[in-house]
Structure 1
Amino acid sequence: MGEDDTQEQHDEPLLIERRDDRVVATLNRPRVRNAIDQDLVDRLHALCAELEASPRILIIAGAGGVFASGADIRQMLQRRAPEARAGINTRVFMRIRELPMPVIAAIDGYALGGGAELAFAADLRIGSPQAKIGNPETGLGIIAAAGATWRLPALVGEARAAELLYTGRILSADEALEWGLLSAIHPSGELLGAAHALADRIAVNDPLAVRHTKTALRAADHPAVDLELQAELFESSEKMRRMTAFLNRHKR
């Protein structure tokens, strides 16, 4: 890689690595601790459009030992009621949540405010021992309106969600693991590798079955949704192939 390529990568706010079965998106604004600004939101929307058209697992990480310190306060200071109603961060996080394939957040360092809400939009969250997760919005005179008020209760329960959102408390990695916000903790240098290991375990399964499982997990109309998704899978050639292979492996 030449000097120009290195500088271009350094200046790129969202680094994207594409593989056949997954995409790694790394927030790369280290000078502002990967704060989420309008440009980054636009780039995340473009990535979502790509993954909606060509579904793959998404791994989201942050460069420089920080996941995302929150929304860009300089931009937030200038926003008024119309921007609030537009849901700038809310809508892109909802779009990430609705991606067809699972999303894995690899949280190293701070995931605060909008950064925490980006992590909450993922299906799976793992962290480093340095992870710090919280929503200090009320201390800035706003609320956590980009997902925390409805996703946190589902993740940690109403009482704990209320404590975090009212007080602005920031959880350590161990506390986040205990509360169920993280499913595992790995050393910083191994965190991305652990995210890939999770993706590997997902990728060996039938992609359509994984997609339908994600749909069922998000659905409210149980069991009707589950049974209709299962009906489609029962007719699939991949189900026939995988079950036949299983029976052949276990013949006595």
Structure 2
Amino acid sequence: MIRVRDDDDIRTVTLDRPDSRNALRPDDLDELRVAVADAETPVTYLRGAGSAFCAGADLDAVAALDDPSEFARRGQRTASALADADTVVVCGIDGAARGGGVEMALASDVRVATPDATFGEPGVSFGLFGAWGGTVRLPRVMREGDALEFALSGRVLDAEEARQAGLVSRVVDDPRAVATEIASGKPAALRTIKRRMRDRREDGTQERAEAAAFADLVATHREEIAASRGD
């Protein structure tokens, strides 16, 4: 289900069940978590095979669960792995992102859509909601009122609506090009920027950590910094 390919500075992780629109089963979540957590490349590019990004949880698997809360926890662990990994996760959404697919995108660091991308949280129509961290991350990414309306209504957003709502940062024909652009940065700086912006501690603690990380980067790249003054 999960395919991994490393090319230079980018690991490509592909959700590869196109016949089911890349719906995620419990084992798929574990594979995705390992694929991202084990990445040694500065950037990981997450994509879906076929005409959809990800339809979310495999509902046949959900219906057969003895312990639905464990499935939720597995999804939460996978989403947290995307958010916490040293590698910068760029999510390229082409086609439909639904439910858990939206949640995996939310956990990524950068979300980029093609013009054909669409986003929806349809769980409310059959009595569910996004339990892979979606209720936590969605109002951080979108304004709280917009996030509530999006989740409560089950309405589908097109790519431009998603960009205007802050759900994606860009709408482009080739999302991988954004991953390549980001991968051109210095790996240590990429890791540090991600860690600092992901830090949820109180402001004073974050600022002290930010200053220390800045000093470390200056020490590492002092000669290049000096050489760039004339640019």
Identity, in percent, stands at 31
2:206 matched to 1:232?
no
- Give the whole-Å Cα distance in 2 for the aligned partners of 1:108 and 1:49: 23
Question: For residue 33 of structure 2, what is the aligned residue in structure 1?
Answer: 45
Question: For residue 3 of structure 1, what is the aligned residue in structure 2?
Answer: none
Deviation of the 1:214 alpha carbon? 0.5
Secondary structure of the equivalent of 1:152?
helix
Deviation of the 1:121 alpha carbon? 0.9
Please say which structure displays the higher CA radius of gyration. Answer: 1
Whether the 8 Å contact between 2:42 and 2:190 is mirrored in structure 1 is no
- Give the whole-Å Cα distance in 2 for the aligned partners of 1:203 and 1:174: 25
Question: For residue 164 of structure 1, what is the aligned residue in structure 2?
Answer: 150
2:98 matched to 1:112?
yes
Cα 1:49–1:153 shift into 2, 3 Å = closer
Structure 2: gaps of 5 or more residues: none
Question: For residue 204 of structure 1, what is the aligned residue in structure 2?
Answer: 184
Deviation of the 1:161 alpha carbon? 0.7
Question: For residue 10 of structure 1, what is the aligned residue in structure 2?
Answer: none
Kindly tell me the number of residue pairs found equivalent between the two proteins. 226
Query: Runs in 1 of length 4+ with deviation above 6 angstroms?
Result: none
2:78 matched to 1:88?
no
The residue identity in structure 2 corresponding to 1:140 is F
- Give the whole-Å Cα distance in 2 for the aligned partners of 1:134 and 1:224: 39
> Which of 241, 249, 252 is equivalent to 2:223?
241
Normalised to the residue count of structure 2, the TM-score between the two structures is 0.91
Whether the 8 Å contact between 1:219 and 1:225 is mirrored in structure 2 is no
Per-residue CA distance 1:80-106 (angstroms, 9 max, x = gap): 4x4314612111111111111211111
- Give the whole-Å Cα distance in 1 for the aligned partners of 2:183 and 2:118: 29
Higher RCO (CA-CA < 8 Å; seq separation 6+): 2
Normalised to the residue count of structure 1, the TM-score between the two structures is 0.84
Secondary structure of the equivalent of 2:36?
helix
- Give the whole-Å Cα distance in 1 for the aligned partners of 2:77 and 2:133: 9
- Give the whole-Å Cα distance in 1 for the aligned partners of 2:184 and 2:36: 23
Whether the 8 Å contact between 1:25 and 1:58 is mirrored in structure 2 is yes
Secondary structure of the equivalent of 2:119?
strand
Moved more, 220-229 or 31-40: 220-229
Per-residue CA distance 1:176-230 (angstroms, 9 max, x = gap): 011111122223xxx2xx42x2223222222111111101101133312211211
The residue identity in structure 1 corresponding to 2:223 is R
Deviation of the 1:50 alpha carbon? 1.7
The residue identity in structure 2 corresponding to 1:240 is R
